Amino acid sequence: MRRLNIFRKQIDEVDGQIVNLLAKRMKTVKKIGRFKKENNIPVLDKLRWQEVIKSKKGYVKKIWNIIHDEALKIEKSI
């Protein structure tokens, strides 16, 4: 059980890093959203999104789609 707890602690640490990085990413998304609004740039850049998503596979692609959807919501709300 001790070994399992060590593994779980490692997962918890990684999860914390993921949450922190997502928060940092969304702060940048807000900056992008403000920039786009100030410069009359559409929220969605389909070519950019296709470029980003084409290299993603499996569950990573699913996660990236969720992250992107949330980013679009934030940008649209600005």
DSSP 35: H
Q: Residues 6 or more apart from 78 whose CB is under 8 A from it?
A: 30, 33, 34, 36, 37
Q: Where are the domains of the chain?
A: 2-77
Quote the pLDDT of residue 26.
98
Class of domain 2-77: mainly alpha
Reported as a single tens digit per residue, the pLDDT across 26-77 is 999 999 999 999 999 999 999 999 999 999 999 999 999 999 999 999 999 9
Residues ≥6 apart with Cβ < 8 Å to 36: 42, 43, 75, 78
pLDDT of residue 63: 97
Single pTM value for the model: 0.88
Whole-angstrom distance, CA of residue 43 vs CA of residue 76: 7
